[in-house]
Amino acid sequence: MDPILSSALAILFLPLLSYLLLFFAGERLPGRGAWFAVAIMGAALVLALGIFARFWALADPSASYEVSWNWFRIGAFHVDLGLLVDGMTSVMLVVVTLVSFLVHLFSTGYMQGDPRYSRYFGFLGWFTFSMLGIVLSNSVFFLYIFWELVGVASYVLIGFFFHKPSAAHANKKAFIVNRVGDFGFFIGILMFFTAIGSFHYSDLFAGVEAGVISGSALTWAGILLFMGCVGKSAQMPLHIWLPNAMEGPTPVSALIHAATMVAAGVYMTARLFPLFDPAALQFIAYTGAITAFLAATIAIVQTDIKRGLAYSTISQLGYMVTAVGVGGVAAGMFHLTTHAFFKACLFLGSGAVIHAMHHEQDMRKMGGLRHKMPITFTAFLMSTIAISGVPPFAGFWSKDAILGSALAYGMLHPGNYLPFVLTLAAAAITAFYMFRIVFLTFMGEPRDQHAYDHAHEVDWRMASPLIVLGTLAVIGGGIPGIGLSWFDRFVVDPGESDQIATEQMIDAPHQTLEAHRAPGEAYDEDIRLPETQSAHSAEPENHDLEHIVHVAHRRAMFLSLFAAGLGILLSWLTYQRRIIRSDRVLEALPGVHRWLWNKYYFDEVYNAVIVRGVLRLNRAAATFDKVVVDGIVNSAGYLTRGAAWLSGSADRYVVDGMVNATADILRSLGAVAQSVQTGRVQNYFLGLVSGLVVLILVYRTMWMS
């Protein structure tokens, strides 16, 4: 096994080790085990950075290493488990282990004093293990396994404060809504497996490429597969669980519900990109764009700092999904990476604020905190600038890449400008609501003096993750003049040019062979598939395409800069200078505010229609079971008993009656016979003779006939 693979394996199992250690022995460990968990996660991070460095040096997005083990085999059917490490994986490994490590560190301070302190770190380890499984798996079956496991980690961590009824409701909701997505995901997997006969990514890509599954079946399979992403990455209409998920401890929100797990859907869609045909991709692009826009609008009116960030996360995930949908896989993955930095920083920052404010989450009671918490403020501000798309901060590069791809998509597919328009609008809104949060929380005057007086800057355990993530929010997208577009070394767009798309699709299985090949073995050129045109962007010629993409990106950059500036300006005017009076605006637009405040009534409609409908259906089923099905059984029982009673009665009165009657008749016959028994011989003789005559007559008659 290549050292890259063995170190990937170690990265995968280190967090599991942390889980087992903390779960079974946590309470007995010094400091109740948290530092063991931090150390283990640090080791995983170091290993991940090693792999990252290797791919950085390689600078070949199509290089990949793969290994599989047979899990079980039944005749011809078999399920394999395996790892796939390529550029995309190496980035994700760093993102996951880095954020996890920092969240572990942050939590040592944030969760101090919690009675289930070591259990908490155990669950974090469990989550990290499962998340790394998603990142590393090389087959959809294996992916699905870890996909469910992160769901459980999310479940227990959202419900970590399970004595709160809201938390107890939120984790159930999260899991079930995710299962709705998984329903589609699983059927999508089944469709691909049934058509192609393998769970392996590379086999699936080859199968789609060869046209084994095509037409509407391919479209449907793709859309169903994407449903998994809709659930996990909280896309509309299954986004409703993520705001509730904020019931979990804030570091958990940063790790799971902002930086990593919710991005798993995007990762999956990007990873399985070759399985989506243009129609499915269009569906994906629109879903993402609508989500990005609607969630951003909801974020405007949130008063709870975490809820505001949660809707922001949904919106940003919408960006990433849009990116994949319009063919900008690299842009989507790039945004996933930068978003992990700045959104984790925002959440940890909000955690620091909540911690300092004694678990106050209402922004209307905050204000002026920049004086009390300079480090937190700086990190939060850096991240806000980043998410708003101000150059040269990290978010600018990735968001710009997405907007460029979306515009190019609109130019290449006439009539499909909506993804671009919606994401552009969302960009302005994002800048607006994010600065609103900054202004409300950190600027202005304190609105709750008591809480403000008690507020304090966090200690180093919580401050250092903020500093690291805040720094990455600034430089994570690249440093002008030094390392711009570093991401190209790891992931490239399959849609950008036919050449790359085809190469990437073919090279996945190809590189596998290479990784397994013994050194010096001859390279068989014949396995390389003919480099025909990709299925995904067939229409225009290479040259024109490049030109259009280039133009789109230039235009998009100006527009996105304008959008960000506009959003920040309006926010400043509204919440800092208060030239625009937000209450007046709300009064002027009562309908809009009501819709936003009620989050477009998704929850209400689901409750009224689906939840209540299902519950009613369940009760109907149970009643049917009790009354009809069991009723028939019981009636059969009663009928039998009735019949038994009848036959019993019949027995007593009819059968027994007949027996008795016979006896009676015999007795009376006996009486008659007695009267015949006269004692006279001649009478007997007469009887004998007449009887004989009768017998002879009967005999004769019968014999004659």
Partner 1 sequence: MLELADGGSSSLLTWMTFFPLLGAVVISLLPSRNQNLHRWTALGFSLVPLVLAVKLFMVFDRSTSDVQLWTQVDWIRTFHIQYFVGVDGISVTMVLLTALLCAVCVVASWGIQRATKGYFALFLLLETGMMGVFVSLDFFLFYVFWEVMLLPMYFLIGVWGGPRKEYAAIKFFLYTLAGSVLMLLVMIALYFNVNDPSTGGHTFNMLHMMAQANHGEWLLDPTIRHILFLGLFIGFAIKVPIVPFHTWLPDAHVEAPTAVSVILAGVLLKMGTYGILRICYPILPDAAAWFAYPLAILGAVNIIYGAMCAMAQTDMKKLVAYSSVSHMGYVLLGMAVFNEAGITGAVLQMFNHGTITAMLFLMVGVIYDRAHHREINGFGGLGTSMPKYTTVFSLALFAALGLPGLSGFVGEALVFVGAFEVYRVVTIVSVLGIILGAAYVLWMLQRVFLGPLNEKYADTPDINRRELITVLPIAALVIFLGVFPPPIINMIKVSLLNLIAQIPG
- Residues in touch with partner 1 (CB under 8 A): 71-72, 74-77, 141, 144-146, 148-149, 152, 155, 159, 162-165, 167-169, 171-172, 175-176, 179-180, 182-183, 186-187, 190-191, 193-194, 614-615, 617-619, 621-622, 625, 629-630, 632-633, 637
Asked if residues 342 and 309 have their Cβ atoms less than 8 Å apart, the reply is no
Q: Output 183 or 283, the one with its CB closest to partner 1.
A: 183
Shortest CB 632 distance to partner 1, Å = 8
Helix (H/G/I), strand (E/B), else coil: 541: coil
Which token pair is 302?
Answer: 């949130």
CA atoms within a 13 Å half-sphere pointing along the CA-CB vector of 442? 24
Tell the residue number behind the tokens 């691909």, with chain if given: 192
Residue 315 sits at the vertex; the CA angle it makes with 311 and 318, to the nearest 5 degrees, is 145
Q: Output 256 or 294, the one with its CB closest to partner 1.
A: 256
CA–CA gap between residue 36 and residue 14 (Å, rounded): 11
In angstroms, the Cα distances linking 502 to 496, 509, 535 are 11, 12, 9
Shortest CB 167 distance to partner 1, Å = 8
Q: Output 184 or 327, the one with its CB closest to partner 1.
A: 184
Q: Output 171 or 534, the one with its CB closest to partner 1.
A: 171
Which token pair is 235?
Answer: 């896309």
DSSP conformation class of 366:
-
Q: Output 619 or 667, the one with its CB closest to partner 1.
A: 619
Shortest CB 402 distance to partner 1, Å = 32
Q: Output 126 or 319, the one with its CB closest to partner 1.
A: 126
Q: State the angle between helix axes of 87-110 and 3-25 in degrees (0 to 180), rounded to the nearest 10.
A: 20
Shortest CB 619 distance to partner 1, Å = 5
Shortest CB 195 distance to partner 1, Å = 10
Q: Among candidates 388, 427, 391, which has minimal Cα distance to 406?
A: 427
CA 610 to chain centre: 20
Shortest CB 550 distance to partner 1, Å = 45
Shortest CB 148 distance to partner 1, Å = 5
Helix (H/G/I), strand (E/B), else coil: 139: strand
Q: Which helix or strand (DSSP H or E) is residue 326 part of? A: none
237 φ/ψ angles, rounded to the nearest 5 degrees: -95, 20
Q: Output 139 or 512, the one with its CB closest to partner 1.
A: 139
CA–CA gap between residue 285 and residue 298 (Å, rounded): 20
Q: Output 122 or 419, the one with its CB closest to partner 1.
A: 122
Shortest CB 36 distance to partner 1, Å = 21
Tell the residue number behind the tokens 């096994």, with chain if given: 1
Q: Output 36 or 129, the one with its CB closest to partner 1.
A: 129
Asked if residues 509 and 206 have their Cβ atoms less than 8 Å apart, the reply is yes
Shortest CB 693 distance to partner 1, Å = 52
Q: Output 146 or 442, the one with its CB closest to partner 1.
A: 146
Shortest CB 184 distance to partner 1, Å = 9
* Structure-derived torsion over alpha carbons of residues 690, 694, 700, 705, reported in degrees to the nearest 10: 160
Which token pair is 450?
Answer: 């008591």
Cis peptide before 414 (omega within 30 of 0): no
Shortest CB 635 distance to partner 1, Å = 12
CA–CA gap between residue 150 and residue 79 (Å, rounded): 21
CA–CA gap between residue 93 and residue 115 (Å, rounded): 31
CA–CA gap between residue 573 and residue 568 (Å, rounded): 9
In angstroms, the Cα distances linking 503 to 56, 326, 492, 509 are 20, 19, 11, 11
Q: Output 145 or 467, the one with its CB closest to partner 1.
A: 145
Residue 324 sits at the vertex; the CA angle it makes with 54 and 474, to the nearest 5 degrees, is 55
Q: Output 146 or 490, the one with its CB closest to partner 1.
A: 146
Q: Among candidates 259, 242, 233, which has minimal Cα distance to 465?
A: 259
Q: Output 610 or 654, the one with its CB closest to partner 1.
A: 610
Asked if residues 537 and 498 have their Cβ atoms less than 8 Å apart, the reply is yes
CA atoms within a 13 Å half-sphere pointing along the CA-CB vector of 399? 36
Shortest CB 117 distance to partner 1, Å = 14
Q: Among candidates 1, 62, 60, 136, which has minimal Cα distance to 528?
A: 62
Q: Output 72 or 703, the one with its CB closest to partner 1.
A: 72
Shortest CB 133 distance to partner 1, Å = 10
Q: Output 70 or 485, the one with its CB closest to partner 1.
A: 70
Shortest CB 432 distance to partner 1, Å = 37
Question: Residues 655-666, buried b or exposed e (16+ Cβ, 10 A)?
Answer: eeeeeeeeeeee
Shortest CB 416 distance to partner 1, Å = 30
Q: Output 633 or 665, the one with its CB closest to partner 1.
A: 633
Shortest CB 193 distance to partner 1, Å = 6
Helix (H/G/I), strand (E/B), else coil: 250: helix
433 burial type by CB count under 10 A (0-12 exposed, 13-18 middle, 19+ buried): buried
CA–CA gap between residue 581 and residue 648 (Å, rounded): 91
